[in-house]
Amino acid sequence: MAKSSSPNPAASAVLTVTRPLRPESGIAPARMVREVKPYQAVSSLEAILSRPDQVPLKLDWNESTVPPSPKVLEAIQAFLGNAHHLNWYPVLNSTNLIERLEKHLGLSGDQLLITNGSDDALDTICTTYLDPDDVVLVPSPTYTHFLVFAQTRGAQIQALHGPDPFASCIDLLVQTAQRVRPRLLYLVNPNNPTGVLYTREEVATLLAACPETLVIVDEAYSEFAGCSCIDLLHTYPNLVITRTFSKAYGIAGLRIGYAMAAPGVIMDLRRVFNPKSVNVLAQIGAMAALEDQSYLRWYLGEVEASKRLLQPFFATRGLPFKLTPANYFLVQFDQAPWVVKRLQEEGVYVRDRSGMNQLAGWVRFSLGTEEQTRDLLDRIDRVLEV
C-alpha cells in the first residue's frame, strides 16, 4: 500500500492500493469472535440514493422520518462557524450533556454514561460484565444486535420465547431467570419489533426476583411509549437502562445515546469506556435536541395521529396488523418478501421480520407524520391492488 505525498489534503487522503486487500489475512479473529454470526444490517440507503426521482419513505430502521429540531442544526452551525476547534478532542465524558440530562431525568451525573448511540452502551455493558460462558437471558424475538455484543464475549445466549410473541410473559420470565440465574438479562421495553411493553411493576418484580442478575432495560423507544423504568433506579442496583437520541430525537446520524444505572455500575462501565469517544457534534446536537421539548412533543403527536389511521385501513383490507406503543407497526402478509420488494418499487423501505422465530409473514413499518402515513397507505394500496 503506498500513500501519496501530495501537500493537497484531498489528494493525500487517497490511498493507492497496489494489490487487492485480501479478506483472508491468515490471522484468525479471537476465539469468541470466530463463533459470532454477524449482525445482518440491511441498509436501504444505497437503494434510496439510486432513485433520486422518488420521494422515499424510509421506514426500515425506526429512525425519525423528519429532520431533528432546527435548533440542532443551528447549534452545530454556530459551533462550526465560530472558532470551532474541531482539532481538539471533545469534552471528556460529555459532562456538558450530562449536566442537562441530570435536570431532564432527575438523576445525578454519577448515574449517567453518554455513549456513541445506545448500541455502544450495550456493547460496553457486555465488555464490562461478561466472562466467557456466562449466561445471558433474552426474551425474544427482539433487537438482535445486542446478541452480537454478548456473543463476542463468549456468552451463552438463552432466548426465551413466550407462547405469544405479542404478549408479555412476566411469570415465565421471572421463573426462568430464577432457574437460570443469568449474568445479564436483556429486556427491550417496548420491544422491537413486537411492541410488547412490560409495566413498571412487572420490571420491579423481575429486578427483585433476581438480584444477582444485571437487568438491562433498553428504552430506545420509551419517548413514544410515554413510560419508563427510571424511578426503579433508586431502588434496584441491578438495573441498567439504555436510551438513545436516534429515534424520537431524530439524530441517528450523529450516534449518541446513554446508560443510566446506580453509581457503582456506571463506575464499572467507565473502567472500559473511552471518555473521548463521543464526538463533539453529537454532544452539541444532543444538547440542542434535548432543549427543544416542544419539537419532540410535536413529533410524538404526529406519530400518535398516524396510529389512528391504521386500524380502519388494515381492518378494511383484512390484513392482520399489530400496533405498538413505539414508532412502528407490523402487518402480516402471505407473501412478505414479495410485498417488501413491491413496496420498495413504490419507494417504501420497510423491514421484513418474517424470517424471525414466531414472526412468519410479519413486516415492520416505522411510523412518521400523519401526512407521511397517508402517503404510505396510498402506496400500500397500489401494491395490494396489483
Ligand X SMILES: Cc1ncc(COP(=O)(O)O)c(C=O)c1O
The residue among 117 and 165 lying less far from ligand X, judged by its C-beta, is 117
Q: How far is the CB of 61 from ligand X (least distance, A)?
A: 6
Environment class of 161 (CB within 10 Å of its CB; exposed 0-12, middle 13-18, buried 19+): middle
Say whether residue 143 binds ligand X (CB under 6 A). Answer: yes
Segment near ligand X (CB under 6 A), from 36-44, 112-120, 291-299, 300-308?
112-120
Is 190 a binder of ligand X (CB under 6 A)?
no
Binding range to ligand X, per CB under 6 A, among 66-74, 114-122, 294-302, 309-317: 114-122
What part of residues 225-264 is at the interface with ligand X (CB under 6 A)? 244, 246, 252, 257
**Using the rule CB under 6 A, is 223 a contact of ligand X?**
no
CB of 288 to ligand X, least distance (A): 17
Site for ligand X in 32-61 (CB under 6 A): 61
| Distance from C-alpha of 319 to C-alpha of 321, rounded to nearest angstrom | 6
Task: Assess contact for 197 and 170: CB atoms under 8 A.
Answer: no
Q: Which is nearer to ligand X, 273 or 383 (CB)?
A: 273
- Contact between 220 and ligand X by CB under 6 A: the answer reads yes
**65 forms part of the interface with ligand X (CB under 6 A):** no
CB of 146 to ligand X, least distance (A): 7
Q: Which is nearer to ligand X, 143 or 314 (CB)?
A: 143
Find the binder of ligand X among 60, 123, 202, 218 (CB under 6 A): 218
- Cα-based distances in Å from 306 to 196, 233, 243, 330: 19, 33, 23, 14
Q: Residue 61 or residue 362: which is nearer to ligand X going by CB? A: 61
Helices (H), the chain: 9-12, 31-34, 45-49, 70-81, 95-105, 117-129, 145-152, 170-180, 200-209, 222-225, 263-272, 280-291, 293-317, 336-345, 370-384
Is 117 an interacting residue with respect to ligand X (CB under 6 A)? yes
Phi, psi angle pair for 356, to nearest 5°: -80, 150
How many residues at the interface with ligand X, by CB under 6 A? 14
- Three-state SS string over 156-208 comes to EEEEEECCCCCCCCHHHHHHHHHHHCCCEEEEECCCCCCCCCCCHHHHHHHHH
Question: What is the nearest approach in angstroms of ligand X to the Cβ of residue 256?
Answer: 7
Q: Which helix (H) or strand (E) element contains residue 244?
A: strand 239-244
- Contacting range for ligand X; rule: CB under 6 A; set: 47-55, 117-125, 151-159, 200-208: 117-125
Cis peptide before 52 (omega within 30 of 0): no
Residues 56-74 as b or e (16 or more Cβ within 10 Å = b): bbbbbbbbbbeebbebbee
Q: How far is the CB of 203 from ligand X (least distance, A)?
A: 15
For ligand X, the binding residues in 6-25 under the rule CB under 6 A are none
Instruction: Spell 326-339 as b/e; 16+ CB within 10 A means b.
Output: bbbbbbbbeebeeb
Q: Tell the residue number behind the cell numbers 442537562, with chain if given.
A: 100
192 near ligand X, judged by CB under 6 A: yes
d(CA 335, CA 241): 37
Cell triple for residue 54?
Answer: 422518488
By CB under 6 A, tell whether 62 contacts ligand X.
yes
Q: Contacting ligand X (CB under 6 A), which of 188, 261, 280, 383? A: 188
* Binding flag, residue 366, ligand X (CB under 6 A): no
Position 139 contacts ligand X (CB under 6 A)? no
Q: Which residues bind ligand X (CB under 6 A)?
A: 61-62, 117-119, 143, 188, 192, 218, 220, 244, 246, 252, 257
